[in-house]
C-alpha cells in the first residue's frame, strides 16, 4: 500500500513512500544474500573480463573501396591502449591474406612491408593507421569492395601481460576517409 509523504517532510505531498513490508524478499537476510550474489557475479565478471578483454579503443575505422579486378586494398583506423598493447594480426573473410603493414620513404623510394612482430600501441598514445603510414593490408581479395558496403574484420591484440584477445569489427567501405 502506498502512503503519502507529509508536506512538512520537505517533499511535495504528491510523492509516495513504499513501505518495505509488502516485499518479503527484501528482508535483511535476503538483502545480504542478494548483495553477496551481486558481488560474486561482479568479481567473476571482472576476472573473466581481464582474461579476454583489452583496453584497446578502435576509432574511425574504414576500408578503401576497390574496383572490379583489384586484388588489394587497405584498412585504416585509430588505435589507443591505456596500458600498452600490440596489434598482433588481422583476419577477414574477404581477403586471402591480411597483414599489419608499414609504409615509409627511404632515399626517395617508397617501401611497404609487413610488420612481422605486429604494431606496438604505447600506453596512453593513439597510433594512426592511415594511407602512407601504418595500415592493414588486405590482399588476394575474394570480391570487389564497393563503396557503402561493409566488411567483417578481426583484430588480434596482445597486452603487456601477454594475454591475447580478439576484437570483431564491421568496417564501412569508402573511397575516402569518413569525415567525423
Domain locations in the chain?
Answer: 3-52, 56-174
Instruction: Express each pLDDT in 54-67 by its tens digit.
Output: 589 999 999 999 99
Helices then strands, each counted (H, E), the chain = 1, 12
**Distance set, CA 51 to CA 17, 18, 42, 54, 104 (Å):** 44, 42, 14, 9, 35
* Percentage of the chain exceeding pLDDT 90: 61
Residues 6+ apart with CB under 8 A from 22: 1
Give just the sign of the alpha carbon dihedral 91, 153, 121, 113. positive
Q: Does residue 83 or residue 33 have the better pLDDT?
A: 83
Predicted confidence band at 105 (pLDDT cuts at 50, 70, 90)?
Answer: confident
Tell me how far apart the alpha carbons of residues 56 and 119 are, in angstroms, rounded to a whole number. Answer: 13
| pTM for the model | 0.68
What CATH number has the domain spanning 56-174?
2.60.40.1890
Beta strands in the chain (DSSP E): 3-4, 16-17, 56-64, 72-81, 85-91, 95-106, 109-114, 119-121, 126-129, 135-141, 150-159, 164-174
Is residue 4 scored above 80 in pLDDT?
no
Give the per-residue pLDDT at 52: 34
Amino acid at each position: 500500500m502506498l502512503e503519502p509523504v507529509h508536506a512538512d517532510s520537505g517533499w511535495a505531498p504528491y510523492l509516495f513512500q513504499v513501505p518495505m513490508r509488502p516485499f518479503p524478499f527484501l528482508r535483511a537476510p535476503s538483502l545480504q544474500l542478494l548483495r553477496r550474489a551481486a558481488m560474486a557475479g561482479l568479481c567473476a565478471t571482472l576476472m573473466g573480463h581481464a582474461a579476454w578483454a583489452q583496453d584497446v579503443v578502435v576509432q574511425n575505422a574504414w576500408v578503401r573501396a576497390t574496383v572490379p579486378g583489384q586484388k588489394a586494398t587497405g584498412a585504416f583506423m585509430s588505435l589507443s591502449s591505456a596500458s600498452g598493447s600490440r596489434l598482433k594480426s588481422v583476419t577477414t573473410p574477404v581477403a586471402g591474406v591480411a597483414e599489419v603493414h608499414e609504409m615509409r620513404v627511404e632515399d626517395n623510394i617508397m617501401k611497404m612491408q609487413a610488420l612481422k612482430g605486429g604494431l606496438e600501441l604505447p600506453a596512453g598514445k593513439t597510433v594512426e593507421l592511415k594511407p602512407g603510414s601504418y595500415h592493414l593490408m588486405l590482399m588476394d581479395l575474394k570480391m570487389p569492395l564497393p563503396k557503402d558496403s561493409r566488411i567483417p574484420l578481426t583484430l588480434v591484440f596482445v597486452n603487456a601481460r601477454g594475454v591475447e584477445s580478439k576484437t570483431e569489427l564491421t568496417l564501412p567501405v569508402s573511397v575516402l576517409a569518413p569525415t567525423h
